[in-house]
Chain A
Amino acid sequence: MADIQESVRNYAERFKSAKLRERPLSAHLKALEAESIHIMREVAAEFANPVMLYSIGKDSAVMLHLALKAFYPSRPPFPLQHVDTTFKFRDMITYRDALAEALGLEMRVEINQEAVDRGVNPWDSGSQLHTQLLKTEALRAAMNRHGYDAAFGGARRDEEKSRAKERIFSFRDTNHGWDPKNQRPELWRNYNTKIRKGESIRVFPLSNWTELDIWQYILEDDIPIVPLYYAAHRPVVERDGQVIMVDDERLPLQDGEKPDLRMVRFRTLGCYPLTGAVESSAQTLEEIVLEMLTARTSERSGRLIDHDEAGSMEKKKREGYF
């Protein structure tokens, strides 16, 4: 784990005194970056109690990176909020804590302890209930506890069909629900930030980024990410066509099931029992990008929770999911 700590410390140094880039950023990434920075500054200026919902994955890494740039030389004027289901990959938590410390940022962690104590988990409770209790409920609890009026999320429109429909400033009622049929018109880069007490806005500064843009940006701007994105030999089992990593002893093995060491990596990170790995030999960012250019399946195909039912993402969002 020494390398996580070190890469994160080097990274933090960059924001102490800005240095000129050696290579200019690709033009389209520069435009995307500027758009995201503009969005973040609007939020910082217009909301009383904003927060960044930080989920440790590559999109969060980019989102945080953009926030560090947007307010430079100031620090981002809001805390980070992680909703911890307690089933995240261990490397994710190591990375999260190292990063927050190196950057000196406040990382708030919300756990639905009651559900954890009752033994809720993905395999016995099912992925739906697991997500509902440990993720959606915990998020709502965090929103209510801290009274956030705006929350940044790292969702992109290219991820999924209902995401493609969502505004950059997405209004949530007092129950944190999304009403997809009645969204506020959103013209130009002129964002309506007005809400009443108890209502909130989810803000998606990465709305117009694609998965490839994210990787290209991580490559061009040297952003440290959780090592699980790089291929390595990892203990895995195969279930329902998905390759699941045995990240700790909690994952119950079925009869005759024996973890295999395979060269795999992840395109997206979530709860380890619900996140499928892909076979890959990509050990550098360059190789990951090349792999991306020839990918035949979408990143969400590795997320078990999206397969439960058609339109499941929209449904979860209406109930207050990210």
Chain B
Amino acid sequence: MDTQTSRADVMERLTQSGQHGVLRFLTCGSVDDGKSTLIGRLLYDSKLLFEDQINVLERDSRKHGTAGDEIDFALLLDGLEAEREQGITIDVAYRFFATEKRKFVVADTPGHEQYTRNMATGASTADAAVMMIDARKGVLVQTLRHTYIARMMGIRHIVLAVNKMDLVEHGRTRFHEIVAEYMKNAEELGFETITPIPMSARYGDNVTRHSESMSWYKGPTLLEHLEELDITTDIESEPFRMPVQWVNRPNLNFRGYSGTVVSGKVKPGDAIVVSQSGLAANVERIVTADGDLEIAQAGDAVTLVLNHEIDISRGDVLAAAEERPEVSDQFAAELLWMAEDDLLPGRSYLLKIGTATTPATISALKHKVDINTYEKKPSRKLEMNGIGMCNVSTARPIAFDPYHTIRDMGAFILIDRFTNQTVGAGMISFGLRRASNIHHHAMDVTKADRAQLKAQKPAILWFTGLSGAGKSTVANIVERKLASAGHHTYSLDGDNVRHGLNRDLGFTDEDRVENIRRIGEVGKLFVDAGLLVTCSFISPFRSERRMVRELVDEGEFIEVFVDTPLEVCMERDPKGLYKKAQAGEIKNFTGFDSPYEAPESPEIRVDTTSISAEEAADQVIAKLRELGRLG
């Protein structure tokens, strides 16, 4: 090359594209409406594909195509083997393209109801949604579900892409009919813009070029519209928030707090507080590898150094001192449930918000949204893909703002504690009570005082096992022996709980969870009173037993697994219940048509097939002594 290419020239070429910044959008709607085809078409028509990619596309179209002899543009997106075989989208694909005006990140999401979680994944980071409708089919349940999710996730702009117009003779009336029907539902959700465009994704009509067959349509093409869409937000004028990700300590002379500013701005000198503790300090430096900054704002990944040392760790939120987030362990949130197992109020999950993770339970499901009508209906559980409003209670107070004010401060996920799957996506609406109000009234007589008087360390002895395993029998002997040795005890079992405290509960999964939760709370009070409490409950679910374990202090929960095989229990059948279950007279019978999840690491396991109940009780007491609970 004779003339050296100058950096200035190159930079100019590079900055030509994307003057309007980056727009993130997703395509969504019902199955087969043409979402993937549309994105494929968009990439193809904007000359954004490389030659080798086009060759592969042509070859794949012949092999897997669903568009006859023509190019099947969806194959550009449906990159998984299973997707190509079934001709549907299963998971979200992210693609990138740019025009002179803008850079785009597009998430092509699946229409299939089964994969709603993947649509939500794509929606969570999008500024706009292209809602596809097959002109022949009109508005479907999935159209409404995706529209609701888009709104719930905070998407402000909808493009209503009425697709496959070629199959309805490019008819104007049909287009308006569909638009009217959609508006009827979507209007109440309060989107900022809803822009209907008649389209034929397969042939490219009104995608990047105006359609001759639909000359009656005078509006912009999809691409023109997306290039101009105004998506500026005022996240920088919200108060400063930065969840601390990592404490930066290279040596004794430096202590910084690394994180991403999620709202507002921060400058050296600014007064900040640690939201959870209320401890205050001033910002001294904003450190980056590109030098100290004068100012950092929403979106910047920085390290803050403060003017004096205060206690800060991962999970804390640094916030503007004069405008603090709420801090509470109870809040109301909208929830999308994404797991095959139903959401059960009372069960313990892990909740991750920002950089904080804490155990949490759904304390109440206030209503469920009927996706056909957007009506709120009472419900006791949420099934997969269900949306509801619920109260959440966390083990520790968390700092948050409403999701619709500061997205990162109100967005959380729920993680199943056994499968580690992400099972729920939540958006906080408002706090239910301030943490400061729930600070427990300090009592003069403490648990330790009460325990000392009784010369023992209080504990819950939790007997779990199948019906007829011998839980109550062993627990009864244990209590008798403890009492005769001068210990202070109490026992909880089905008989004294089901008839009173839990009279209103049945045997569905949700009721079983609530049953155990209440027993756990009562057990905790008795522990607080200084007692050794035996609890005998089938308690089939690991997560509920774990929930009780977490209610009390370390070492206070002692799980006794009365490990009697189902066959033996059925043979014993002391209350004749297995016979009834076999005859179909009892539903949801544990071990039978309802699962029993055996403990993975109980403190004590007793085998009642090889030793007597008396010997089993001795084993339990020996273990109690070993654990130092008997004084």
List residues of chain A with CB under 8 Å of any chain B CB: 14-15, 18-21, 25-28, 31, 33-34, 37-38, 41-42, 44-45, 68-75, 157-158, 160-165, 180-181, 183-190, 192, 194-196, 207-208, 210, 216, 219, 281, 283-284, 286-287, 289-290, 293, 295-298, 300-301, 310-311, 314-315
Partner of A296, one of B10, B50, B117, B124: B50
Q: Which residue of A lies closest to B76 (CB)?
A: A161
Partner of B80, one of A45, A157, A314: A314
B412-438 contacts to A (CB < 8 Å): 412-413, 415, 420-422, 425
B580-603 contacts to A (CB < 8 Å): none
Quick check: is B364 within 8 A (CB to CB) of the other chain? no
Complex-state Cα separation, A193 to B90, whole angstroms = 23
Query: Does the CB pair A185–B303 fall under 8 Å?
Result: no
What class of interface size applies to chain B in its complex with A? 35 or more
Query: Does the CB pair A286–B420 fall under 8 Å?
Result: no
Q: Interface 1/0s, chain B 513-542, versus A by CB < 8 A?
A: 000000000000000000000000000000
Quick check: is B18 within 8 A (CB to CB) of the other chain? yes
Quick check: is B554 within 8 A (CB to CB) of the other chain? no
Nearest-Cβ distance from residue A303 to partner chain B, whole angstroms:
11
Known: A28-B18, A181-B80. A190 touches B411 (CB 8 A): yes
Query: Does the CB pair A28–B103 fall under 8 Å?
Result: yes
Query: Does the CB pair A284–B4 fall under 8 Å?
Result: yes
Query: Does the CB pair A73–B287 fall under 8 Å?
Result: yes
Complex-state Cα separation, A227 to B208, whole angstroms = 40
Nearest-Cβ distance from residue B394 to partner chain A, whole angstroms:
15
Quick check: is B139 within 8 A (CB to CB) of the other chain? no
Q: Which residue of A lies closest to B93 (CB)?
A: A164
Quick check: is B259 within 8 A (CB to CB) of the other chain? yes
Complex-state Cα separation, A218 to B279, whole angstroms = 41
Q: Which residue of A lies closest to B85 (CB)?
A: A311
**Which residues of B lie under 8 Å from residue A180 when comparing CB positions?**
80, 82, 90-91
Nearest-Cβ distance from residue B249 to partner chain A, whole angstroms:
7
> Taking each of A19, A161, A194, A289, which has the highest tally of chain B beta carbons within 10 Å of its own beta carbon?
A161
Complex-state Cα separation, A207 to B96, whole angstroms = 11
Quick check: is B375 within 8 A (CB to CB) of the other chain? no
Complex-state Cα separation, A72 to B53, whole angstroms = 40
Q: Which residue of A lies closest to B6 (CB)?
A: A286
Nearest-Cβ distance from residue B182 to partner chain A, whole angstroms:
26
Query: Can you spell out 11 A-B residue pairs with CB atoms less than 8 angstroms apart?
Result: A20-B290, A26-B14, A38-B301, A69-B288, A70-B301, A72-B288, A73-B248, A157-B94, A189-B260, A216-B14, A298-B53
Identify the 4 closest CB pairs spanning chains A and B, nearest first. A161-B79, A20-B291, A72-B289, A37-B301
Given contact pairs A31-B299, A45-B245, A300-B52, enumerate 9 new A-B contacts (beta carbons under 8 Å).
A18-B287, A26-B15, A41-B258, A42-B245, A71-B258, A161-B78, A164-B79, A208-B94, A297-B50
Complex-state Cα separation, A40 to B208, whole angstroms = 38
**Which residues of A lie under 8 Å from residue B124 when comparing CB positions?**
187-188
Complex-state Cα separation, A42 to B21, whole angstroms = 26
Complex-state Cα separation, A281 to B3, whole angstroms = 12
Q: Interface 1/0s, chain B 100-117, versus A by CB < 8 A?
A: 000101000000000001
Query: Does the CB pair B301–A181 fall under 8 Å?
Result: no
Query: Does the CB pair A286–B94 fall under 8 Å?
Result: no
**Which residues of A lie under 8 Å from residue B125 when comparing CB positions?**
187-189
Complex-state Cα separation, A70 to B287, whole angstroms = 11
Query: Does the CB pair A314–B352 fall under 8 Å?
Result: no
Quick check: is B22 within 8 A (CB to CB) of the other chain? yes
Q: Interface 1/0s, chain B 390-422, versus A by CB < 8 A?
A: 000000000000000001100111010000111
Query: Does the CB pair B411–A183 fall under 8 Å?
Result: no
Query: Does the CB pair A298–B52 fall under 8 Å?
Result: yes
Q: Which residue of A lies closest to B339 (CB)?
A: A185
List residues of chain B with CB under 8 Å of any chain A CB: 1, 4-7, 9-10, 13-15, 18, 21-22, 50-53, 56, 60, 63, 76-82, 84, 90-96, 103, 105, 117-118, 120-121, 124-125, 245-246, 248-250, 254, 256, 258-260, 287-292, 299-301, 303, 314, 338, 350, 352-355, 407-408, 411-413, 415, 420-422, 425
Complex-state Cα separation, A45 to B290, whole angstroms = 22
**Which residues of A lie under 8 Å from residue B94 when comparing CB positions?**
157, 164, 207-208
**Which residues of A lie under 8 Å from residue B300 when comparing CB positions?**
34
Complex-state Cα separation, A181 to B79, whole angstroms = 12
Partner of A18, one of B254, B289, B354: B289
Q: Which residue of A lies closest to B124 (CB)?
A: A187
Known: A180-B80, A192-B420, A208-B105. A185 touches B118 (CB 8 A): yes
Query: Does the CB pair A295–B353 fall under 8 Å?
Result: no
Known: A28-B21, A165-B80. A192 touches B411 (CB 8 A): no
Nearest-Cβ distance from residue B302 to partner chain A, whole angstroms:
9
Partner of A44, one of B9, B118, B246, B353: B246
Query: Does the CB pair A190–B412 fall under 8 Å?
Result: yes
Q: Which residue of A lies closest to B105 (CB)?
A: A208
**Which residues of A lie under 8 Å from residue B84 when comparing CB positions?**
311
**Which residues of A lie under 8 Å from residue B5 when comparing CB positions?**
284, 286-287, 290
Nearest-Cβ distance from residue B82 to partner chain A, whole angstroms:
6
Partner of A192, one of B80, B258, B292, B422: B422
Q: Which residue of A lies closest to B259 (CB)?
A: A41
Complex-state Cα separation, A203 to B58, whole angstroms = 33
Query: Does the CB pair A27–B21 fall under 8 Å?
Result: yes
**Which residues of A lie under 8 Å from residue B90 when comparing CB positions?**
180-181
